[in-house]
Amino acid sequence: MSFTVQQAMKTLKRNDRFRAAGRKAEQYLLNGIEACFDLRYNITTRWSDLTPAFADDEGYGPVSYPGLKYIHKRVGIAPREVLVDIGCGQGRAICVFSREPAVERCIGIEYHSSHAEAARRNAKRVRGRTAPITVIEGDAAEQTYDGTTLIFLFNPFGEATMRRTVERIGVSLLKDPRPIRVVYVNPKYEHVLAEQPWLTKTDAFEIPNRVHRSLPTSVWHSAN
Ligand SMILES: C[S@@+](CC[C@H](N)C(=O)[O-])C[C@H]1O[C@@H](n2cnc3c(N)ncnc32)[C@H](O)[C@@H]1O
C-alpha cells in the first residue's frame, strides 16, 4: 500500500497531540517574530496577560508589526498627522508611527499604569523616532482629543466606554472642526461609530497575515 506525504499529514492533523504541538510551535514562532521586531525598534511590547482593571476592558494584545505596516500602506499618513492610540498598551503603534516623517506627534492613552509606564519607556528609547510621543495615563473616555487627526483603536473596551469616548471626540470636533480619520481594528462596537452623523465609513478590510490571526478593520472619516 502506498502512503503519500499528504495522507501522512492528514493523519497527523487528526491527532490531538499533534495539533496541540502545532499550536505551541506556531505560538513560539509568533513570539520569535515579534521579539525580532522589538529588537529592531529597540522596544519591548510583548503580549502580556495583565488582568484588566475594570469590566469594560477588552484585554491587552498589540497589533502585529506586519499588521501595523499593512494599516500604514492601506490608510496612509497625511502631512502633519497627529496620531492618538486609544488604549496604547505598551506603545507599539505609537512607537512605530513616530518614525514616520509626516507625523507631527503621537499620543498614547492608557489607563493601566504598568502599561503606560512601559509605553513611556519605549517612547524614550525607540530607534529612529522623528515625532515626539506623549503617553497619558487615564481613562480614554475622559480625555479631550484636541488637535488629533488620526485616531487608532485596537478594540480596547466595550460599548459603554466606546460611546463615552466617541462623544469626547465629537466634542473636540465641534470646538475645532477638522478632518479626522478613525482606524478601528477588530471593530466589535463599530455600530457606535455608525450612529454618529459626523462620521462616514470609508473602508473595511482584513489585515491579512499568513502567521498571525487576520483582523477585521474599519476606517471612518469625519464630514469636515
Ligand atoms: C488590545 S490592547 C491594544 C494595544 C495597542 N493599541 C497596540 O495595538 O499595541 C487595548 C489596551 O487598551 C487599554 N484600555 C482598556 N480600557 C481603557 C480605557 N478606558 N482607557 C484607556 N485605556 C484602556 C488596555 O489596558 C489595553 O492596554
Q: Give, in words, the CATH class of 65-222.
A: alpha beta
Mean pLDDT of 133-154: 97
Q: Is the pLDDT of residue 1 over 60?
A: no
Determine whether the shortest distance from the Cβ of 67 to ligand 1 is under 6 A.
no
Greater confidence (24 vs 124) lies with 124
Query: Which residue owns the Cα nearest ligand 1 atom 23?
Result: 87
What distance in Å separates the CA atoms of residue 93 and residue 88, rounded to the nearest whole number?
7
- Grid cell locating 57: 476592558
Confidence (pTM): 0.89
The CA 86 to ligand 1 mean position distance, Å, reads 6
Determine whether the shortest distance from the Cβ of 165 to ligand 1 is under 6 A.
no
* Model pLDDT for residues 66-115, shown as the tens digit of each residue: 999 999 999 999 999 999 999 999 999 999 999 999 999 999 999 999 99
What distance in Å separates the CA atoms of residue 62 and residue 222, rounded to the nearest whole number?
26
Determine whether the shortest distance from the Cβ of 60 to ligand 1 is under 6 A.
yes
Q: Which residues contact 195 (CB under 8 A, 6 or more apart)?
A: none
Query: 98-107: buried (b, 16+ CB within 10 Å) or exposed (e) per residue?
Result: bebeebbbbb
* Model pLDDT for residues 156-213, shown as the tens digit of each residue: 999 999 999 999 999 999 999 999 999 999 999 999 999 999 999 999 999 987 656 6
Across the chain, mean pLDDT equals: 90
What distance in Å separates the CA atoms of residue 107 and residue 93, rounded to the nearest whole number?
10
* Model pLDDT for residues 187-198, shown as the tens digit of each residue: 999 999 999 999
Q: Hey, where are the domains in the chain?
A: 1-41, 65-222
Residue 203, strand partner residues: 219
Residue 58's pLDDT is what?
A: 81
Residue 30's pLDDT is what?
A: 79
| Number of neighbouring beta carbons within 10 Å of residue 48 | 15
| H or E element that contains 27 | helix 16-41
Determine whether the shortest distance from the Cβ of 34 to ligand 1 is under 6 A.
no
In angstroms, how far is the first alpha carbon of the chain from the final one?
Answer: 70
Residue 74, strand partner residues: none
